A = this chain, B = another copy of it.
Amino acid sequence: MSTQKHYTGLIERYRDRLPVSASTRIISLNEGNTPMIQLQNIPRLIGKDVEIYVKFEGLNPTGSFKDRGMTMAVTKAVEEGSQAIICASTGNTSAAAAAYAARAGIKAFVLIPEGKIAQGKLAQTLMYGAEIIQINGNFDKGMSLVKEIADHAPVTIVNSINPFRLDGQKTAAFEIVDDLGFAPDYHCLPVGNAGNISAYWKGYTEYAVSRVCSTRPVMCGYQAAGAAPFVAGHMIDEPETIATAIRIGHPQSWDFAWAAQKESGGWFDKFTDEQILAAQKMLSQYEGIFCEPASATSLAGALQDIGSGKIPEGSKIVCTLTGNGLKDPDTAISQCAAAHPVTIEASLDAVKRAILDCL
């Protein structure tokens, strides 16, 4: 093998801050190193003097932030001799588990809620060759089954209750500080299972303790109105939202997420499906960035709180976009139903007419 000069994934990059040794075989797909894109049009549209960056995690190898945790979890599972991994998933975790298991040459079992995962995520999980166990129950039910099953079968759980997941995910905070040269004032995140907000806080805190950054951001966790246990202050039994990636009522990282909120002076809030889809469309239409519905919850929250002054002008804000819009083409297409194209004759006149009508 040649000496590799190039980027080979987040474990290699942040090796000294992750629980791996010199002899650990790293299972990686060159995840991480995702772009920080500064919004150029939306701040002007809302007439506010703020710097908003989106951390576009949809450009990870399987199209979501889950790859960060999965490279760590599968690396450690393989190191410990595991031949199979298992997770419950709304779709993104299953895609990541399936891909990293394929790369490692081990088996992946994924429990998904019937009919409630987006089409792209199903396509991925099938293509990566995972064993899909579709249950007649939601994510929370799948999660409780996964926790039970690990005592009855030789499988390693790779949901975010696996502590290595959060270790991998915390590197997103490292990258943000390394990119900006400082920590943002506010960090806005969608909150479902609450592993990500917990992991970012862990990352910022580790960097602050090591004095890589002098401050930590206020953590703002935004949920879908129909799946908002942190806003309710208690678990929810029948979560419902079009943002399937955060359709979770019993978040596994409940305590960690509350700690992040309290220690950072942050808050939780909730948004309707309509507000979430409007933010998704706004980001596509005015900035050219297409994220999945759940991801846009971070922007919906940021815009509301900037509008009200709760996030003051002059702030530097990072919004995590957790997943790629291509994960869920159906929701996007149905959202644009009014713009659905009609077919015209392939002639110069017809095309010219179509164009001049719009100019």
Contacts and interface: CB of A to CB of B under 8 A. Distances in A.
Interface of A: 1-7, 29-30, 33, 35-38, 40-41, 51, 56, 59-63, 83-84, 86, 98-103, 105, 107, 109, 111-112, 114, 119-120, 122-124, 126-129, 131-137, 141-142, 145, 148-149, 152-155, 178-181, 280-281, 284-290, 316, 324-327, 329-330, 332-333, 335-336, 339-348, 351-352, 354-356, 358-359
Contacts of A290: 62, 99, 123-124, 127-128
Contact of A358 (B109, B141, B288): B109
Contacts of A127: 280-281, 284-285, 290, 325, 332, 335-336
A306 to B, nearest CB: 17
Given A62-B290, A120-B329, A345 B5 contact: no
Contacts of A7: 35-36, 179
Contacts of A137: 346
Given A41-B105, A122-B329, A135-B343, A288 B355 contact: no
Contact of A336 (B126, B288, B346): B126
A152 B356 CA distance: 9
B325 A155 contact: no
8 contacts: A1-B38, A61-B289, A127-B336, A133-B354, A135-B344, A148-B348, A153-B355, A329-B329
